[in-house]
Amino acid sequence: MVARRFVVRQEDPAAGETGEHELEYDTEHGLEILRFQIFSLTSVPPELQKIVVEADGSVVGEGTDLEAISEGLRLVAITEEEEEEDAAAAEAAKAQEKSDEELARMIQAEEEALLLQQYSIRNDGGAEFRERVEPYMHQVLMYEDPMRQEAARKTVPIDELQEKALVSLAKEGNFSPSKDEEDHAFLLQLLFWFKQSFRWVNAAPCDSCGRETFNVGMGTPLPSEIKFGANRVEIYRCNYCSGTTRFPRYNDPYKKLGKGAVENGPIALHSIVELLDMMLVWWMHLDPCEGVYDNPLLYEKGWNKKLDYVIAISNDGVRDVTKRYTRKWHEVLSRRIITSEDNVSAVLSSITGKYRSGLSIDRLAVIEKRDKKESEELSKAAYLEVDTTISLPGRQIAMDAVDEILSNYKSDVFCTKVHQFPRGNRLCSGSVLASGEQLPIGIATAAFDGIHSSKWEEPDGSKGCWIIYKMLDDQTCELDSYDLMSANDVPERDPMDWVLEGSIDGGSTWNTIDTRSSVIFEGRFYRKTFTVDKRYKANAFRFRFLRVRESNGNPRFQIGSIDLYGKNA
């Protein structure tokens, strides 16, 4: 219980006057009593009151801490038209919420998933989960470095993007935007600029003459390269002068900005961002790789991802925000088997406490208030209905460095004692869609990336799953053969029976190209080649894997790589 004194300022636009009213109020009584006290002073009915904190412009609502806000309040009388708009917005929000019956079913499914989780999780107290999450703090903190921030600012055409932001606001009829509105518009322009400006370097230009090169293998990283996260160094030879070029794939933002901001080296995970947008006063989802914002369901609904963990990392800690990215929380729970949910919370809380230990009391109070609000939002997010009117795009993959390396091999087969590399007529640069994937180490695009150590893993694919490869720009190809390579572990997950199909209309209709059954891979990273008897021009290819080597007690499917060979029609 806290006794407060408030000064309520009331504006009367019709009379052009402003009045002030003082009132004594006990915070124990709640917001409704405060509204009635204001009504007794101003004659504005409680249902037509909009109470604004003058210090920061925030609107007082049910979740407002009445003990913490400043004493200066401003009363805005809501017109009947505004009241109707508010009622419509409330009705829309209510429509998004699931029915009581649906909610009860989801909660029951969650309880069952949590019960089953006890028998599948690792009993290591969350040690493995901590080992996976904590190293990313170092990556994030690099972006707090003033030197790196200054390098980034020099790369960004700030004046040009600010001008575009103001133009976009003017097109919406906003000619006198607030600072927060300007920042919001600038943020979106920055997002679009990043999408258009950054690209992947497939084959490094020759250091001597600047002309085209081809890959000749991998080099050993130098200490100066490892310092900036370049654990992978590619070696290229010039097609013209035969000069040799080293190309380290840096994972440090400062180094990535070093050559015209084009060395967007290999990133193990698809990177997304959440930014505290002051106009929205909330965390907004951004995907710089896709140029998409405020669409957190893009991955589950648009890409058909089967999410496990989405962990947000900032300079003041870590948070599990998976519920913001799913409307199938009970299904997600069944896949979260690294550790128990209690251990997830404990590990994240421990890491967060470590990075907040040096913050001031005032700063901690602001962050903790923000955390409380976010926790309330996340607890509701997974139970909202999916807006089916929003169309979300499927995932695209660009030509990566490995595609370029492999397409430059001129011989039919390049062999070493360890690997058999794909041939020169390998299809590359297409897009991929699959029935599901395991994050972060079993994504669908890994099936076609040509990287020896990666794999596609389908958590529920042992008794049936599919993956589609679409040609770039709807080109057509006549397939003559394909390779499948087993993954690194668990032979029981290897494919055994499958059907390969082709489509000339991008996937509307399919024709069978090849069928296999009872195939056994004799070892790990074992590559098998299959010749296609039915030649068929297609711009999309689909593998329907019907059965794995052992499905009893094993729900998962995995494949190390899929390589398609043919000629453009």
Asked if the structure places residue 221 within a domain, the reply is: no
Asked if the structure places residue 101 within a domain, the reply is: no
Asked if the structure places residue 157 within a domain, the reply is: yes
378/324 Cα distance (integer angstroms): 6
Round the average pLDDT of the chain to a whole number and report it: 80
pLDDT tens-digit readout, 316-337: 889 999 999 988 888 888 888 8
CATH number of the structural domain spanning residue 551: 2.60.120.260
pLDDT exceeds 70 at position 399? no
Identify the residue with better confidence: 420 or 66. 66
Q: Are residues 175 and 280 in the same domain?
A: yes
Asked if the structure places residue 562 within a domain, the reply is: yes
Q: Are residues 169 and 273 in the same domain?
A: yes
pLDDT confidence tier of residue 421, bands split at 50, 70 and 90? very low
Can you give the pLDDT at residue 459? 92
Q: Are residues 160 and 281 in the same domain?
A: yes
Asked if the structure places residue 547 within a domain, the reply is: yes
CA 136 remoteness from chain centre: 15
CATH number of the structural domain spanning residue 34: 3.10.20.90
Boundary-marking domain end, from 381, 410, 430? 381
413/421 Cα distance (integer angstroms): 7
pLDDT exceeds 70 at position 85? no
Q: Comparing 190-194, 366-370, 503-507, which segment has the lowest mean pLDDT?
A: 190-194
pLDDT confidence tier of residue 541, bands split at 50, 70 and 90? very high
Boundary-marking domain end, from 51, 85, 119? 85
The residue among 555, 550, 558, 529 whose CA lies nearest residue 455 is 558
Task: Decide: 256 and 250 in contact? Cβ < 8 Å.
Answer: yes
Q: Are residues 66 and 128 in the same domain?
A: no
pLDDT exceeds 90 at position 564? yes
- Domains: count for the chain: 3
Amino acid at 49: Q
Report the range out of 254-258, 266-270, 427-431 with the highest average pLDDT.
Answer: 427-431
pLDDT tens-digit readout, 333-386: 888 888 888 899 999 999 999 989 988 999 999 899 888 888 888 887 766 655
Q: Are residues 437 and 534 in the same domain?
A: yes
Q: Are residues 484 and 351 in the same domain?
A: no
Range of the domain at 453: 401-568
Can you give the pLDDT at residue 98? 52
Place of tokens 């440090």: 252
Q: Are residues 410 and 336 in the same domain?
A: no
**Mean pLDDT value across residues 115-142:** 81
Q: At 440, list the tokens.
A: 């972060």
Neighbours of 519 (CB within 10 A): 14
pLDDT confidence tier of residue 288, bands split at 50, 70 and 90? confident
Q: What backbone torsions phi and psi does residue 171 show, to the nearest 5 degrees?
A: -65, -25
Asked if the structure places residue 102 within a domain, the reply is: no
Asked if the structure places residue 254 within a domain, the reply is: no
pLDDT confidence tier of residue 467, bands split at 50, 70 and 90? very high
Q: What backbone torsions phi and psi does residue 513 show, to the nearest 5 degrees?
A: -105, -40
Q: Are residues 551 and 431 in the same domain?
A: yes
424/41 Cα distance (integer angstroms): 83
Identify the residue with better confidence: 566 or 225. 566
CATH number of the structural domain spanning residue 279: 3.10.620.30
DSSP 3-state of 395: coil
8 contact partners, CB below 8 Å, separation of at least 6: 20, 21, 22, 23, 38, 41, 42, 51, 73, 74, 75
Identify the residue with better confidence: 353 or 27. 353
